[in-house]
Amino acid sequence: MHLLTGEEIKASMAPARGLFVDPLLDPGQIASSGIDLRLGYDFLVGVTTRRPSFDLRPPASDQPRGIASYFQETRRDLGDKFVLYPNQVVLTTTLEYLCVPENMSVNLETRSSLNRLGVHVGTSLQPGYTGCASLELFNHGHTPIELVVGARVVQARIFRLDATHAYLGKAPRKYVANVRPEVSRILEDSELARLRAIWERNSNAGRDID
């Protein structure tokens, strides 16, 4: 695995199948060993509801409340402020739409300036990923922070891999070519159905003994 330098990043931005970053508002975003990416303009803000918790293993008979209902959508324009309050979960994306080649992967980390204010994001993009990268913002500090839409917030480190890995084809993908934040689709994880079956069997076994 090889961390691409700035020059290698520029070289890999070929039109059809190479690394794709759109828009690249300032070529200066390409640093010595990564690309700075900007804060996007769509946000999903966590809201308080009457439910006590997210149930990630709801009973099969229950109609689960859609996870989207725990978030409120809001949009801004370039240059607008977005206030991130302490202990608030906010989903957003990078301003840039990215295409990661099948022989590369990307790690995203908040810039040091934001880390020092108590905001930390760490995520990665798999080979073949397309879309605006999802950013899950959380303010660990005590003071609200006024973020600016379009400001550089994360740095992408890009790694060339030894083999190619197709993003689509082998298994269904939940997040494809997304251009705005999407709530978690964890309830679609197939293992949750298996785990629910195990739990139900365990529960019934307990009743038999009793």
Partner 1 sequence: MPHSLTDTNLRLLDGKLCSLCDTAYFDARIVDYLDALRSVIATLLRRQPVVPDLLRDFLAREIWKGVQFLAGSAMRLQPFEAIYGLRAAARDWIKEDVLIITALTQQQNFYFQAIHPLFYKITKDLLQLEVEADVVQVALPDVYRHKPLFSVALYHEFGHFIDRRFQLSANVELLFPNLTLPSLSAPPAGWTQEVFRNARKAHLREYFADLFAASYTGGAIKRFVDDFAANADVSTSHPKTYDRVQVIEALLTGKNHRVIEAFRHALHARQCPDLTPKYSRPNVEEAFVNLRTARLQGVSEVHGILEAGWEFLHQAADRDEGVWQHIEDADAERIVNDLVAKSIRNWMLGEQWSHAPADG
Q: Which of residues 159-178 bind partner 1 (CB under 8 A)?
A: 167-169, 176-178
Q: Taking Cα atoms as reference points, which of 100, 64, 83, 184 lies closest to residue 139?
A: 83
Dist. CA 205–CA 199, nearest whole Å: 10
- Position among 49, 69, 74, 164 found at the interface with partner 1 (CB under 8 A): 74
Structure tokens at 58: 């709801």
Query: Across the chain, where does the E strand assignment appear?
Result: 2-3, 20-22, 30-31, 34-38, 42-46, 71-75, 81-84, 89-99, 104-110, 122-125, 130-138, 145-148, 152-160
In the bound complex, what is the minimum distance in angstroms from residue 55's beta carbon to partner 1? 26
Give yes or no for residue 4 binding partner 1 (CB under 8 A).
no
Q: Write down the least CB distance from residue 57 to partner 1, Å.
A: 26
Considering 136, 146, 188, 191, which one is annotated as catalytic?
136
Nearer to partner 1, 12 or 130 (CB): 130
Determine, following the binding rule CB under 8 A, whether residue 188 of this chain makes contact with partner 1: no
Active site residue 136: yes
In angstroms, the CA 54 to CA 104 distance is: 34
Residue nearer to partner 1 on the CB measure, 17 or 194: 17
Binding site for partner 1 (CB under 8 A): 15-17, 20, 22-23, 25-26, 73-80, 95, 97, 99, 130, 132, 150, 167-169, 176-180
